Chains A and B, each alone.
Chain A
Amino acid sequence: MMTTPELPTAAELLAALPRVDDDAERRLHARLAAAALDAGILDVAFRTVDTPLGALLLAATDQGLVRVAYAREDHDRVLQQLADTVSPRVLRAPARLDLAAREIEEYFVGRRTRFDLPLDFRLSAGFRRTVLAQLPDIAYGTTATYAAIAAAAGNPKAVRAVGSACATNPLPVVVPCHRVVRSDGTIGQYVGGVDAKQTLLTLEAAA
């Protein structure tokens, strides 16, 4: 236990090096995002946008918006899914998502009734994808029943499959699965929660 008090340990000595400041980290991160975009290796860009329904995660490939996620879906888990299914080259890079963020902000203040964004549907396939393709045809401020969408998708008996297509919609809000309701007049389930679905329908009814 005999130590020489005047001599600091190496760790103490090097603790005198300044911690990396947040400014430097932000600057370098932005530089990395720009360089990755230039180099064509920014496979998945993401950012969040604040809405009355909490922070929404937005993610885009070079094809377009690929994922919108509510906080209740757990953004870290969603990013891991994107890493597993699209590419692990996932980086916070707001620039690619500026337009999507702006349109979503406009939507939530009632100034936008349809989205004009390139969409990447690679996260859904088969009948689910066919269902999702029908949804933008449901006009803003109106609703359609699961049964009607099943018929429009070419399979009137597939009402439950329409339900699961909506429940697994990778692009909620933008692809308006919230406008699909039950035939008995109740609003049904929603990936963002029933309250969120009600909020969106109320917002659209008021506009």
Chain B
Amino acid sequence: MGHQPFEAVVQRYGSTVLRVCRAVLGPAAADDAWSETFLSAMQAYSTLRPDSNVEAWLVTIAHRKAIDQVRTQARRAVPTANVPDRPTTHGQPGGWESDLWAALKDLPLKQRETVAYHYLAGLPYAEIATILGGTAESARRAAADGIATLRKTYLQPPHDRDAEGEAS
């Protein structure tokens, strides 16, 4: 058996890749990055070795697309990508989710990337190092620093974590 139908790849990894794109880029730019990622992936799909790690492959493509977006955002330097003030359609209005996006957005890029690739996509640090360059150890350190900062910036105003039933 060769490749699975590409539809199965979208079904299996689509939401993970979107969460990664959102974590790295924020919700507003993530849609474009996701779309470009899956279009590129579909284009190159038949050249992917069937025994490859599909998730790592997708995150590698998403990483390149996200970098393009980050460069574009930096060039434009428009404030419109700031979404935290918009009422959220998930959970409480103005709630904790948008605070977390904002907290992520304030992390240095490498920390955002390592946090997203490790904790959202589940990639090991060795794999992340091949995507980002550098060593597995430096990727691990960047993720740890990012998480430490998030604990401070996002959790500092004390609030009731038990009210948020999404942890699983």
Q: Point out residues on A near B: beta carbons under 8 Å.
A: 7-8, 10-21, 24-25, 27-29, 31-32, 35-36, 39, 41, 44, 46, 79-80, 82-84, 87-92
* Cross-chain contact B19 with A20 (CB below 8 angstroms): yes
Q: Nearest Cβ in chain A — how far from B138, in angstroms?
A: 17
Residue of B nearest to A59 (CB): B5
**How far apart are B129's CB and chain A's nearest CB, in angstroms?**
18
A110, chain B: closest CB distance, angstroms: 33
Q: A8-B155, A31-B35, A89-B42 given as contacts; is B6 within 8 A of A16 (CB)? A: no
Task: List residues of chain B with CB within 8 A of the CB of A14.
Answer: 23, 100, 115, 119-120
Number of residues of chain B lying within 8 A (CB) of chain A: 46
Given A10-B119, A89-B45, do A15 and B168 touch, yes or no (CB 8 Å)? yes
Instruction: Please tell me if B12 contacts chain A, counting CB pairs below 8 Å.
Output: no
Classify the interface of chain B: helix, strand, loop or mixed: helix
A90, B39: Cβ atoms closer than 8 Å: no
| Bound CA span A41–B119, Å | 32
With CB as the reference atom, state the residue of chain B lying closest to A46. B7
Given A29-B10, A83-B3, do A88 and B45 touch, yes or no (CB 8 Å)?
yes
Assess the A41–B19 pair: CB atoms within 8 A. Answer: no
Contacts A13-B147, A41-B42 aside, 10 further interface pairs with beta carbons under 8 A come to: A10-B119, A16-B154, A20-B18, A24-B18, A25-B14, A32-B38, A36-B42, A87-B46, A88-B6, A91-B10
Q: Are A12 and B39 in contact (CB under 8 A)?
A: no
